[in-house]
Amino acid sequence: MSTIQETAAEAHPANIDVPSKKNMGLGRTASWAMLIVLALLPLFVRNFVIFQMTMLLIYAIAVLALNILTGGSGQFSLGQSAFYAIGAYTAAILIEHGGVNYVLTLPAAGIICFAVGFLFGFPALRLSGIYLALATFALAVAMPQLLKLGVIEHWTGGVQGLVVTKPDAPFGLPMSQDMWLYYFTLVVSLAIYIASVNLLRSRSGRAMMAIRDNEIAAAAMGVDLSIYKTLAFGVSAGITGVAGALGAIAVQFVAPDSYTFQLAIALFLGMVVGGVGWLPGSLAGAAFIVFVPNIAEGISKGLSGAFFGVLLFVVIYLVPHGARQGAIYAETLFNKLKRS
């Protein structure tokens, strides 16, 4: 209401609150242990569990993308489901209408989503915090209707959506389709994870984090705000698009109503649970959004929304840094044990 804010620090708290820790990754031992578990586990479980683990990795990529945007550059997006949908549709249309190999659809989805995200990011230059959340919220809500548009129905299949054929394992490898897709997804997510950690460690990453911590100070030090903010938005959208493409291949089906605002809520929740600004937490967040709804639906149908909501409140009140807090706690415990 007033044109004079009493104290900026009090009236306008920082966008996000990230505990200071130089490294955005995970310790070396823990990383290798995690990778070995992820690589070996599918050999011992049923096909359906392998499918669930594939979805886990896919959501982890999407959560990671949001984490780069929010944890990295301090901007919000409630519209990640829209980019996920664009990626999924890109892959589905290329495979079904264009006959393109599924491997090639991933970079295509990534590039298209990067472009869309970059363009949508232009308004983001002028929007801060809450306004960006608002614009992306509207994008997420409007997306299913956009996909149902009559003009592009020939390509998108309208309300019915598209069925995508599942790829076989190449070179005659003795693997089920699910297992092949799992390892394929694992390689893609590993590549994206390593690239993201390096991105945030690079000059660009430091510039983004400077913007996150204090926009005005960053600008004063010569960081080009508009470039880096749009870039963060584009990269995040691009990675989400790759996740969406993988999701379309894994689920073998795309339809407008699979990409509603509920998906955006889930991804947002995954980021908060995993710990904002801590990339390995994306895996924990993804595990949360894949497995918790199953448990909740087991108790009562339609309960998962309420369950998500209540847990989100629990997390922001009790463990505001999400899984990262748990990891830091475990690390100190481990070090203590080693010393004694």
Residues in contact with other proteins by CB under 8 A are 1-8, 10-17, 70, 76, 78, 122-123, 126-127, 129-131, 133-135, 137-139, 141-142, 145-146, 148-151, 216, 261-262, 265, 268-269, 272, 276, 300, 302-310, 312-313, 315-317, 320
Q: How far is CA 90 from CA 96, 102, 104, 178, 322, in A?
A: 10, 11, 11, 21, 33
Between 108 and 273, name the residue whose CB sits nearer to other proteins.
Answer: 273
Between 12 and 46, name the residue whose CB sits nearer to other proteins.
Answer: 12
What residues contact 79, with CB distance under 8 A and at least 6 apart?
A: 120, 135, 136, 137, 138, 139, 140, 143, 264
* Helix runs in the chain, H state only: 8-11, 28-40, 47-67, 73, 80-96, 102-126, 129-147, 153-156, 177-201, 203-213, 215-220, 225-251, 261-274, 281-299, 304-318, 323-339
What residues contact 315, with CB distance under 8 A and at least 6 apart?
A: 272, 273, 322
Judge whether 195 and 159 are in contact, CB under 8 Å.
no
Between 269 and 283, name the residue whose CB sits nearer to other proteins.
Answer: 269
Other C-beta atoms lying within 10 Å of the C-beta of residue 280: 24
Cα end-to-end distance, the chain, whole Å: 58
Between 37 and 130, name the residue whose CB sits nearer to other proteins.
Answer: 130
Judge whether 295 and 305 are in contact, CB under 8 Å.
no
Which tokens sit at 104?
């090639």
What residues contact 211, with CB distance under 8 A and at least 6 apart?
A: 73, 74, 218, 223, 225, 228, 229
User: CB of 325: closest distance to other proteins in angstroms?
Assistant: 14
Q: How far is CA 304 from CA 81, 222, 269, in A?
A: 18, 46, 12
Which tokens sit at 294?
């199953």
Between 95 and 273, name the residue whose CB sits nearer to other proteins.
Answer: 273
User: CB of 243: closest distance to other proteins in angstroms?
Assistant: 20
User: CB of 271: closest distance to other proteins in angstroms?
Assistant: 9
Between 54 and 282, name the residue whose CB sits nearer to other proteins.
Answer: 282
User: CB of 180: closest distance to other proteins in angstroms?
Assistant: 35
Residue in this structure with the two tokens 């959004």, named with its chain if needed: 289
User: CB of 146: closest distance to other proteins in angstroms?
Assistant: 5
User: CB of 148: closest distance to other proteins in angstroms?
Assistant: 6
User: CB of 137: closest distance to other proteins in angstroms?
Assistant: 6
Between 105 and 258, name the residue whose CB sits nearer to other proteins.
Answer: 258
User: CB of 138: closest distance to other proteins in angstroms?
Assistant: 4
Between 11 and 40, name the residue whose CB sits nearer to other proteins.
Answer: 11
